[in-house]
Amino acid sequence: MSTQAESTFDCPECDVTAPSASVQYDALGYAVCPVCSHTTAPSRAGD
Ligand SMILES: [Zn+2]
């Protein structure tokens, strides 16, 4: 399996994974889940 360098958005609420490019962001720059509209802080290093 190849490792993708492309960043992805992982929703902690509904566990969906989507390419970051397809995720919208709110006024605070938080990613908005395309499935459940849950807002998530930008990905944290070391998570
Ligand atoms: Zn979600």
What pLDDT digit, counting tens, does each position of 1-16 carry? 666 667 888 899 999 9
- Higher-confidence position of 40 and 16: 16
Side-chain-side CA neighbours of 40 within 13 Å: the count stands at 24
Structure tokens of 4? 């993708």
In a domain, 27, yes or no: yes
Structure tokens of 38? 């849950």
16-41 mean pLDDT:
91
Q: Could you tell me the distance, in angstroms and rounded to a whole number, from the CA of residue 3 to the centre of ligand 1? A: 24
Range of the domain at 12: 8-40
Cα 36 to Cα 16: distance, rounded to the nearest angstrom = 9
Q: What pLDDT is recorded for position 26?
A: 92
Q: How far is CA 35 from CA 1, 3, 26, 39, 43, in A?
A: 27, 25, 15, 11, 18
Q: Could you tell me the distance, in angstroms and rounded to a whole number, from the CA of residue 23 to the centre of ligand 1? A: 11
The answer, yes or no, to whether residue 40 has pLDDT greater than 90, is no
Q: What pLDDT is recorded for position 43?
A: 58
Q: Could you tell me the distance, in angstroms and rounded to a whole number, from the CA of residue 1 to the centre of ligand 1? A: 26
- Count structural domains, the chain: 1
In a domain, 22, yes or no: yes
In a domain, 47, yes or no: no
Q: What pLDDT is recorded for position 29?
A: 87
